[in-house]
Amino acid sequence: MSERGAPPAAEKRVALVTGAGRGIGRAIALELAASDFSLCLVARTRDQLEETRALTGLPKERSLIVLADLATEDAPDCVMQTLLDCYGRIDVLVNNAGWAPPRTSTIKMRAEDLDRILALNLRAPIALARLAALKMTEQGGGTIINIASSAARKTPAGEAVYAAAKAGLIAFTRAAFQELRPNGIKLSAIVPGLVDTSLIPHNKRLDRAMMLSPAEVADAVMQVVNSPAHACPVEITLEPQFDPERSR
């Protein structure tokens, strides 16, 4: 489900941000808007996307809202087609949407949760990256940024499937960069540690003041977007300076 309207001026760069309704995705959208990108904002909740749009200050013709559950198989194709119908191009894709249930051992995890973790954190980002790469190749270049997680490296108990999905996303980023670099396409994985968002519930073992902020992850995204044409930061790892789990 999306809005319809006249396409914006063709000279504006266009960015697609998934999970743009809150947290990291919203912070990324604000940074891109400040750099004069037109945006396609994707999430499941219209009210949150409308709030993100308002915070960007962009008019409707430069801030397309698309409601989509990226865990469904046809969602990536629908999202990309809607964007291209409106703007006709894509310069930056930020695969930020992701999900994991509370820490659960693999043997106790529900089958539907397993499928949703893999769909949101791995299948959908790969599908969107493939579609974006097709258009970017036609245009002569572009940037694809995948938001991963330090869980891929630390592999914490209770997050086996999530860690595997994010590790797969990092591996995909590195391999796809090798394939797409001759086409002028940059790929980068941002690998943050604990970020203070609503996806991480409050508990006594975490000092949230020590966690990364969504804005700090957005800064890393903009490092990739603004990197020199002849250089690509294929992976950026961000960790809190002080461990939020050991500071209490």
Catalytically annotated residue among 162, 168, 176, 193: 162
Beta bridge partners of 238: 192
**Tokens describing residue 199:** 């996806």
**What DSSP assignment string belongs to the chain?**
-B-------TTS-EEEEESTTSHHHHHHHHHHHHTT-EEEEEES-HHHHHHHHHHHT--GGGEEEEE--TTSTTHHHHHHHHHHHHHS--SEEEE-----PSS--GGGS-HHHHHHHHIIIIIHHHHHHHHHHHHHHHHT-EEEEEE--THHHH--TT-HHHHHHHHHHHHHHHHHHHHHGGGTEEEEEEEE--B-STTS---TT--GGGSBPHHHHHHHHHHHHTS-TT----EEEE--SS-TTT--
Q: Is 87 a catalytic residue?
A: no
The residues assigned a catalytic role are 162
